[in-house]
A and B are shown apart, each in its own frame.
Chain A
């Protein structure tokens, strides 16, 4: 099956710890994206990558880091510098210039 997967589905961490969220796609898409969604809110772009070994900051990159060493993978690290990390994190990929995006199921991160 082609698709985009995120793991884990739920993640609990103590305040001050870094945590890495996984995102993998087998759609052969060049572009990948990370969004954050807070309750009752829309999606805010954290980072995006249009090609391997290159990525750009989105609207709310502070406190987050990413890497894009492989086309299939775009992990997101939530660092201790992120002031309010509890949120629902969505990863997406796109393979066309019109930028139709395919989303993963999301990871719900709760910082205790």
Chain B
């Protein structure tokens, strides 16, 4: 299994600003997924991008994938206080059934 590594570890922004989080991984992937975790809760699936896709949108979320650099980014536009959470990327390795999660990016959106 391989692990996604998120960067930065922590991010603090004002409400209304955009938040960008990055993820790097090591080997070939089938897809890469982003999850959100509110403090003390389970994870919630946000968006999935397949290895043959370069960009995907869902509401205020925009995910990009660069397989040549083995990296992905998650952009949250016009952030809200409710976006305060930890965000994890989870690559699904080619031929694997296991997702692996890094330590996440802790996002704080200040009202």
The residues of A with any CB-CB pair to B shorter than 8 Å are: 6, 31, 35, 40-43, 45, 48, 50, 58-59, 88, 90, 92, 98-106, 108
Contact = CB atoms under 8 A, between A and B. Distances in A.
A42 B41 contact: no
B97 to A, nearest CB: 6
28 contacts: A6-B42, A35-B101, A41-B103, A42-B101, A43-B43, A43-B88, A43-B101, A45-B98, A48-B97, A59-B1, A90-B43, A92-B42, A98-B30, A98-B31, A98-B92, A99-B31, A99-B33, A99-B92, A99-B97, A100-B48, A101-B33, A101-B43, A103-B42, A103-B43, A104-B42, A105-B41, A106-B40, A106-B42
Interface of B: 1, 3, 30-31, 33, 35, 40-45, 48, 50, 88, 92, 97-104
B41 A106 contact: yes
Contacts of B43: 43, 90, 92, 101, 103
A61 B30 CA distance: 25
A18 to B, nearest CB: 24
B45 A101 contact: yes
Nearest to A88: B40
Given A42-B88, A42-B104, A105 B42 contact: yes
Contact of B98 (A58, A88, A100, A104): A58
Interface centre among B40, B43, B92, B104 (most CB of A within 10 A): B43
Nearest to B44: A103
B103 A42 contact: yes
Contacts of A102: 45
